Protein backbone atom coordinates (compact mmCIF):
# COMPACT_ATOMS: atom_id res chain seq x y z
CA UNK A 1 0.00 0.00 0.00
CA UNK A 2 1.46 3.38 -0.85
CA UNK A 3 1.51 6.24 1.64
CA UNK A 4 -1.46 8.07 0.24
CA UNK A 5 -3.82 5.17 0.07
CA UNK A 6 -2.73 4.11 3.52
CA UNK A 7 -3.53 7.57 4.85
CA UNK A 8 -6.91 7.50 3.11
CA UNK A 9 -7.57 4.13 4.63
CA UNK A 10 -6.80 5.40 8.13
CA UNK A 11 -9.01 8.43 7.61
CA UNK A 12 -11.83 6.25 6.34
CA UNK A 13 -11.35 3.86 9.23
CA UNK A 14 -11.46 6.61 11.84
CA UNK A 15 -14.44 8.26 10.12
CA UNK A 16 -16.42 5.07 9.94
CA UNK A 17 -16.01 4.26 13.61
CA UNK A 18 -18.09 6.74 15.52
CA UNK A 19 -18.55 4.40 18.50
CA UNK A 20 -16.13 3.99 21.37
CA UNK A 21 -15.46 0.34 20.59
CA UNK A 22 -14.59 1.08 16.97
CA UNK A 23 -12.24 3.88 17.90
CA UNK A 24 -10.61 1.65 20.49
CA UNK A 25 -10.08 -1.09 17.92
CA UNK A 26 -8.50 1.27 15.40
CA UNK A 27 -6.28 2.89 18.02
CA UNK A 28 -5.26 -0.51 19.31
CA UNK A 29 -4.34 -1.71 15.85
CA UNK A 30 -1.88 1.14 15.48
CA UNK A 31 -0.50 0.88 19.02
CA UNK A 32 -2.20 4.13 19.94
CA UNK A 33 -4.60 2.99 22.63
CA UNK A 34 -4.01 4.17 26.18
CA UNK A 35 -4.21 1.38 28.79
CA UNK A 36 -7.39 2.84 30.27
CA UNK A 37 -9.94 2.44 27.50
CA UNK A 38 -12.64 0.52 29.34
CA UNK A 39 -15.12 3.32 29.91
CA UNK A 40 -16.99 5.69 27.63
CA UNK A 41 -15.18 8.53 29.31
CA UNK A 42 -11.98 7.09 27.85
CA UNK A 43 -12.98 8.02 24.28
CA UNK A 44 -11.58 11.50 24.77
CA UNK A 45 -8.42 10.12 26.28
CA UNK A 46 -7.96 7.68 23.39
CA UNK A 47 -8.25 10.54 20.90
CA UNK A 48 -5.85 12.71 22.91
CA UNK A 49 -3.32 9.94 23.33
CA UNK A 50 -3.49 8.76 19.70
CA UNK A 51 -3.23 12.23 18.20
CA UNK A 52 -0.46 13.35 20.54
CA UNK A 53 1.56 10.18 20.03
CA UNK A 54 1.31 10.69 16.26
CA UNK A 55 2.22 14.37 16.45
CA UNK A 56 4.80 14.41 19.21
CA UNK A 57 6.52 11.06 18.99
CA UNK A 58 9.94 12.68 18.81
CA UNK A 59 9.22 16.12 20.15
CA UNK A 60 10.73 17.84 23.16
CA UNK A 61 9.01 19.86 25.85
CA UNK A 62 9.95 23.50 25.57
CA UNK A 63 13.10 24.49 27.45
CA UNK A 64 13.53 28.06 28.73
CA UNK A 65 16.45 30.42 29.25
CA UNK A 66 17.80 30.79 32.80
CA UNK A 67 16.23 34.26 33.15
CA UNK A 68 12.75 32.72 32.97
CA UNK A 69 13.16 30.60 36.12
CA UNK A 70 10.31 31.45 38.54
CA UNK A 71 11.46 33.20 41.70
CA UNK A 72 8.89 31.62 44.03
CA UNK A 73 7.77 28.24 42.70
CA UNK A 74 4.59 26.98 44.33
CA UNK A 75 4.56 23.67 46.16
CA UNK A 76 1.29 21.83 46.74
CA UNK A 77 2.38 19.55 49.61
CA UNK A 78 3.04 20.40 53.26
CA UNK A 79 6.64 20.35 54.43
CA UNK A 80 7.23 17.68 55.60
CA UNK A 81 4.65 15.48 53.85
CA UNK A 82 2.33 13.71 56.27
CA UNK A 83 3.62 10.15 55.87
CA UNK A 84 5.00 7.75 58.45
CA UNK A 85 8.74 7.43 58.29
CA UNK A 86 9.43 10.50 56.18
CA UNK A 87 10.67 12.60 59.13
CA UNK A 88 13.19 9.86 60.00
CA UNK A 89 14.55 9.89 56.45
CA UNK A 90 14.77 13.66 56.58
CA UNK A 91 16.67 13.54 59.89
CA UNK A 92 19.36 11.26 58.41
CA UNK A 93 19.73 13.25 55.21
CA UNK A 94 17.95 10.51 53.22
CA UNK A 95 20.92 8.18 53.69
CA UNK A 96 18.67 5.10 53.76
CA UNK A 97 16.25 6.23 51.04
CA UNK A 98 16.18 3.71 48.23
CA UNK A 99 14.72 3.60 44.76
CA UNK A 100 13.78 -0.02 44.14
CA UNK A 101 13.53 -0.97 40.48
CA UNK A 102 11.92 -4.30 39.63
CA UNK A 103 9.32 -6.03 37.49
CA UNK A 104 10.07 -6.90 33.88
CA UNK A 105 13.81 -6.38 34.16
CA UNK A 106 16.70 -8.81 34.02
CA UNK A 107 18.61 -6.99 36.74
CA UNK A 108 16.53 -5.52 39.59
CA UNK A 109 18.35 -2.86 41.63
CA UNK A 110 18.00 -0.89 44.83
CA UNK A 111 19.62 2.51 44.43
CA UNK A 112 20.69 5.02 47.09
CA UNK A 113 20.52 8.75 46.44
CA UNK A 114 24.34 8.84 46.31
CA UNK A 115 24.36 6.16 43.61
CA UNK A 116 21.77 7.99 41.56
CA UNK A 117 23.79 11.20 41.87
CA UNK A 118 26.81 9.34 40.47
CA UNK A 119 24.92 8.47 37.27
CA UNK A 120 25.05 10.62 34.12
CA UNK A 121 23.09 13.79 34.84
CA UNK A 122 21.06 16.11 32.73
CA UNK A 123 19.59 19.47 33.64
CA UNK A 124 16.74 21.23 31.93
CA UNK A 125 14.68 24.35 32.46
CA UNK A 126 11.05 23.43 31.88
CA UNK A 127 7.60 24.43 33.06
CA UNK A 128 5.56 22.45 35.54
CA UNK A 129 1.90 22.95 34.69
CA UNK A 130 -0.77 22.04 37.22
CA UNK A 131 -4.22 21.10 35.95
CA UNK A 132 -5.62 23.60 38.46
CA UNK A 133 -4.27 26.50 36.44
CA UNK A 134 -0.96 27.48 37.99
CA UNK A 135 2.55 26.77 36.75
CA UNK A 136 6.19 27.57 37.35
CA UNK A 137 9.47 27.30 35.51
CA UNK A 138 12.46 25.66 37.20
CA UNK A 139 15.74 24.01 36.45
CA UNK A 140 15.56 20.30 37.16
CA UNK A 141 18.68 18.19 37.70
CA UNK A 142 18.59 14.42 37.57
CA UNK A 143 19.51 11.29 35.75
CA UNK A 144 17.50 10.26 32.70
CA UNK A 145 15.04 7.49 33.56
CA UNK A 146 16.34 5.80 30.41
CA UNK A 147 19.73 5.33 32.13
CA UNK A 148 18.14 3.51 35.07
CA UNK A 149 16.10 1.37 32.68
CA UNK A 150 19.26 0.56 30.78
CA UNK A 151 21.18 -0.68 33.82
CA UNK A 152 18.24 -2.81 34.94
CA UNK A 153 17.98 -4.36 31.47
CA UNK A 154 14.31 -3.95 30.67
CA UNK A 155 12.79 -7.00 28.96
CA UNK A 156 11.52 -6.54 25.39
CA UNK A 157 7.85 -7.12 26.20
CA UNK A 158 7.75 -4.32 28.81
CA UNK A 159 5.43 -1.43 27.93
CA UNK A 160 5.03 0.77 31.01
CA UNK A 161 6.97 2.10 33.95
CA UNK A 162 4.90 2.40 37.12
CA UNK A 163 6.21 4.69 39.82
CA UNK A 164 5.34 4.67 43.51
CA UNK A 165 5.64 7.44 46.06
CA UNK A 166 6.11 7.35 49.79
CA UNK A 167 2.72 9.09 49.70
CA UNK A 168 0.85 5.91 48.85
CA UNK A 169 -2.01 7.38 46.82
CA UNK A 170 0.47 8.84 44.36
CA UNK A 171 1.03 5.89 42.06
CA UNK A 172 1.23 6.60 38.36
CA UNK A 173 2.67 5.20 35.14
CA UNK A 174 3.99 6.25 31.75
CA UNK A 175 4.47 4.30 28.56
CA UNK A 176 7.90 3.45 27.15
CA UNK A 177 7.80 6.39 24.73
CA UNK A 178 7.76 8.75 27.69
CA UNK A 179 9.91 6.57 29.96
CA UNK A 180 12.75 6.51 27.43
CA UNK A 181 12.26 10.14 26.43
CA UNK A 182 15.46 12.18 27.00
CA UNK A 183 13.65 14.79 29.11
CA UNK A 184 12.10 12.31 31.54
CA UNK A 185 14.32 12.53 34.61
CA UNK A 186 14.66 10.98 38.03
CA UNK A 187 15.24 14.33 39.69
CA UNK A 188 17.36 14.99 42.80
CA UNK A 189 18.12 18.71 42.30
CA UNK A 190 16.24 21.89 41.49
CA UNK A 191 17.49 25.41 40.79
CA UNK A 192 21.06 24.59 41.83
CA UNK A 193 20.26 22.91 45.18
CA UNK A 194 19.21 19.49 46.38
CA UNK A 195 15.52 18.95 45.58
CA UNK A 196 13.60 20.50 48.48
CA UNK A 197 11.10 18.57 50.55
CA UNK A 198 8.22 20.71 49.26
CA UNK A 199 9.07 19.85 45.67
CA UNK A 200 9.44 16.11 46.28
CA UNK A 201 12.89 15.59 47.76
CA UNK A 202 14.90 13.54 47.83
CA UNK A 203 13.56 12.09 44.55
CA UNK A 204 10.79 12.83 42.09
CA UNK A 205 10.00 11.86 38.57
CA UNK A 206 9.88 14.74 36.14
CA UNK A 207 7.77 14.17 33.01
CA UNK A 208 7.76 17.58 31.32
CA UNK A 209 5.65 16.52 28.33
CA UNK A 210 2.69 15.86 30.63
CA UNK A 211 0.72 17.79 33.27
CA UNK A 212 2.20 18.35 36.74
CA UNK A 213 0.38 15.48 38.39
CA UNK A 214 2.46 12.98 36.38
CA UNK A 215 5.61 14.38 38.06
CA UNK A 216 5.20 12.37 41.26
CA UNK A 217 7.16 13.41 44.34
CA UNK A 218 8.92 11.24 46.98
CA UNK A 219 9.37 8.27 44.64
CA UNK A 220 10.84 5.12 46.15
CA UNK A 221 9.90 2.34 43.74
CA UNK A 222 9.68 1.75 39.99
CA UNK A 223 8.01 -1.27 38.46
CA UNK A 224 8.35 -2.20 34.81
CA UNK A 225 5.23 -3.92 33.43
CA UNK A 226 3.43 -4.91 30.23
CA UNK A 227 0.02 -3.76 31.52
CA UNK A 228 -1.61 -1.56 34.14
CA UNK A 229 -4.64 -3.63 35.14
CA UNK A 230 -5.05 -3.72 38.90
CA UNK A 231 -2.14 -1.35 39.45
CA UNK A 232 -3.65 2.05 38.82
CA UNK A 233 -6.79 3.03 40.64
CA UNK A 234 -9.59 4.69 38.66
CA UNK A 235 -9.10 8.25 39.66
CA UNK A 236 -10.14 11.77 38.85
CA UNK A 237 -7.05 12.28 36.71
CA UNK A 238 -6.80 10.86 33.21
CA UNK A 239 -3.85 8.53 32.70
CA UNK A 240 -2.50 10.41 29.71
CA UNK A 241 -2.01 14.15 30.30
CA UNK A 242 0.03 15.40 27.36
CA UNK A 243 0.60 19.13 27.12
Binding site for ligand MTE (CB under 6 A): 74-77, 128, 130, 165, 167, 170, 199, 212-213, 215-218
Which residues are registered as beta bridge partners of 206? 185
Q: Which does 201 bind (CB under 5 to 8 A by kind): Mo ion, ligand MTE, none?
A: none
Question: Nearest residue to ligand MTE, using CB?
Answer: 212
The residues in 123-182 that bind Mo ion, with binding defined as CB under 5 A, are 130
Nearer to Mo ion, 189 or 212 (CB): 212
- The piece of 19-27, 162-170, 171-179, 208-216 that touches Mo ion (CB under 5 A) is 208-216
We find the least distance from the C-beta atom of residue 192 to ligand MTE, in angstroms, to be 16
Q: Is 208 a residue that touches Mo ion (CB under 5 A)?
A: no
User: In degrees to the nearest 10, what's the CA dihedral of 178, 182, 187, 188?
Assistant: 160
3-class state of residue 162 by DSSP: strand
We find the least distance from the C-beta atom of residue 75 to ligand MTE, in angstroms, to be 4
**Gap between the Cα atoms of 22 and 46, Å rounded:** 11
Nearer to Mo ion, 89 or 209 (CB): 209
Q: Which does 143 bind (CB under 5 to 8 A by kind): Mo ion, ligand MTE, none?
A: none
Q: Which does 97 bind (CB under 5 to 8 A by kind): ligand MTE, Mo ion, none?
A: none
**Gap between the Cα atoms of 113 and 30, Å rounded:** 39
Q: Which does 121 bind (CB under 5 to 8 A by kind): ligand MTE, Mo ion, none?
A: none
Q: What is the DSSP string of 116-143?
A: HHTS--EEEEEEEE-TTS-EEEEEEEEE
The residues in 12-51 that bind Mo ion, with binding defined as CB under 5 A, are none
**Gap between the Cα atoms of 206 and 128, Å rounded:** 9
Nearer to Mo ion, 27 or 178 (CB): 178
Nearer to Mo ion, 185 or 211 (CB): 211
**Gap between the Cα atoms of 102 and 73, Å rounded:** 33
Asked if residue 231 lies in contact with residue 171, where contact means CB atoms within 8 angstroms, the answer is: yes
3-class state of residue 99 by DSSP: strand
* Helix or strand run (H / E) with residue 5: helix 3-16
- Binding-site ranges for Mo ion (CB under 5 A): 130, 212-213
Amino acid sequence: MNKLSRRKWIAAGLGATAGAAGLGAVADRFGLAPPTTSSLYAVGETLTYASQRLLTRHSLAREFPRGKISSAPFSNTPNPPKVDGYAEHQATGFLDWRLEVAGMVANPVSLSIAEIRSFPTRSQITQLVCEEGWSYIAEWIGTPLSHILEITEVLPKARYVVYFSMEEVWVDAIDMADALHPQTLVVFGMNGSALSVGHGGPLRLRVPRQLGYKSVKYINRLMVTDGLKGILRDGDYSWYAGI
